[in-house]
Amino acid sequence: MKGYFSNLELLVRRLLLVLALFTITRFVFWILNFGHFDSLRVTEIFYLFIVGIRFDIAAILGFNILFIILHLIPGKINLYREYQILLMILFIVVNSLILGSNLVDCEYYKFTNRRTTSDILKYIFISNDLVILLPAFIRDFWYLLLLWIIFTFGLWKFYPRMYKNIRSSKTDTRNLMIQSALSIGLLALVLVGFRGIRLKPLRIIDAAKYTQAKNMSLVLNTPFTLLKSISYQALKPVRYFPPGEMEEIFNPVHQFNQDEEFRPLNVIIIILESMSKEYIGAMTNRRGYTPFLDSLAGESLVFTRAFANGIRSIEAFPAILSALPTLFTNSYISSPYSSNNINSLASVLTGKGYHTSFFHGGNNGTMGFDNFAKIAGIREYYGRNEYGNDNHYDGNWGIFDEEFLQFYADKLNSFHQPFFSTVFTLSSHHPYHIPEKYNELFKEEGLDIYRTLRYADYALMKFFREISKMAWYSNTLFVITADHTSYTENPFYQNRIGKYAVPIIFFHPSDPELKGTSDMITQHCDIFPSVLNYLNYDESFVAFGQSVFDTSCDHFALCYNNGLYQIIMDDHAMTWDGEKGVSLYDIVRDSLLQNNLVNDTIDIRDKTERKIKAVVQSYNQRLIGNVLVPVSDDR
């Protein structure tokens, strides 16, 4: 028994080594993202580090379960040198990988504002972007690779090894049954440690119990969110209201009562990579980086309080084209529901005789865009392969914006009218490369993204200059938005409201009425119904948004992050955990979200909560039941 208990001591010491390294990676995460957590006092940071240990233990036990089981096998097998070498190799491989995921998020968090979840694994499998971009990531974030090597070395150097006297001891076979019983009991304790001492297993959202939503990532760790999000793929049906009452609060089935005939205008949606509202001077009354977009905004209808429904490109595409937000941990494209029958601007307008297309200069297959385009009913997809000239390849993501937008202009001119088309730019994306010929024109200043924004705006100007000569231009509705925001030094654009703030701009060269600014709350999911309303479309369709041209309904913006729903409606923003409101802020008077009103403004809280409950109930039911088109729709 002495050897058995000594072996248990080794197991505990080995797992404590990993726990110590987890704490160090949390410290690195905090340092590299200090601007996101600079409002925290030292005592608060210390508290979050302490409560974070609970989530660290769960992740360590979950990923090391095989190591633990092998460690707890009764008998004398653990006394053999070869077996101990096997355990050490398994220990170092597993824990170096999960520590590496923590380190990766130290920088990736700047782009997503959340810990990475399991859908990143599906993204890696459906795309070869990681292989292509790995050299650039290593070059730009070499210090994370160096830290990972140091941590891996630390796992080997400080790995508690078996004492000689333990190896030479003999196992008392008479105590084999006792050892077996102890091992089973210890495995039960491991299970308790993994799931938490509670009725429900420890979840990502449980981090909200210890801090505000914006600080949850400091409590969590990436291995935990990866592990827990795997089991979060399936939505559960909820029933907050009986069906009739639910539709009165929110009904995703739309049908506009049009007095005029359908207008077969061409429709072009331009999605600008990482183009946060913050960067556009016309929308902030501050210095911007988009002089052309500023000038175009002066001739357009601009929504100054517009929000993305997600924080990643893979979440933006379904929201913009199909009014489908991602209201669960994994993105819609990588979820089990991605094969559902859906309607989209492409599928609806195809029924009106439109030619449909999607253009993205990235590597074909990136983020599953090509597959989703097919599901959404888009007829033609154009990526880097279709562009066919790698002289304009940026070496990382795809074709530079200037050349690809000129290619796009030529293709548009070849399509029969009316056409619906979407283009997604890419140059204003890490690692923020621009063509060498523009290094003097767009010099580095401030954040790395700034000069690529100026280049992207320049490419957009040249695109509009080219298409303005074409006959179809004056008969075209343009919608300009961004997929998501990017990293920033401004506190407002780091919080749960500002990090979703994007432009939504409607422009028609021949419509003098489509001009001005509006402070209506809008979201990506509003683009689909708004375009159809503008075209006088009078058939039914399903969309989890509202037309911006309909002033009779409640307008809101909805998103989901770290297990919390967030709704922005009127002048308030609420976070909701599926059972109750967690926070409520007056975003006009309190833009930095300092004063939580969830227990003070009961009427506003109840109204906002009713809206989010109705949307979530309808969303879950329709995704689970595959009812994302009107029942009578045969498309």
Domain boundaries, the chain: 2-230, 269-550
Mean predicted lDDT score pLDDT of the chain: 89
Least confident of 242-246, 271-275, 402-406: 242-246
**Residue 634: pLDDT band by 50, 70, 90 thresholds?**
very low
Whether the CB-CB separation of 309 and 559 falls below 8 Å is answered with yes
Return the percent helix, strand and coil in the chain, to nearest 5. 50, 15, 35
Round to whole Å and give the CA distance between 75 and 299: 80
In the chain, what is the greatest distance between 2 CA atoms, to the nearest angstrom?
A: 92
Neighbour-count burial for 346-355, b at 16+ CB within 10 Å, e otherwise: bbbbbeeebb
**Residue 635: pLDDT band by 50, 70, 90 thresholds?**
very low
CATH class name, domain 269-550: alpha beta
CA distances 8 to 12, 54, 74, 418, Å, are 6, 21, 11, 72
Alpha helix positions (H), 391-479: 401-412, 449-467
Name the phi and psi angles at 529, rounded to 5.
Answer: -65, -30
- Give, in degrees to the nearest 5, the angle at Cα 358 between 353 and 362: 170
Q: What is the mean pLDDT of residues 176-193?
A: 76
Residue 85 has pLDDT above 60, yes or no: yes
Round to whole Å and give the CA distance between 155 and 88: 9
pTM confidence score: 0.78
- The amino acid sitting at 557 is A
Q: What is the mean pLDDT of residues 171-179?
A: 64
**Residue 587: pLDDT band by 50, 70, 90 thresholds?**
very high
Q: What is the mean pLDDT of residues 544-553?
A: 94
pLDDT, one tens digit per residue, over 274-313 is 999 999 999 988 888 999 999 999 999 999 999 999 988 8
Round to whole Å and give the CA distance between 466 and 468: 6
User: How does DSSP classify residue 201?
Assistant: P
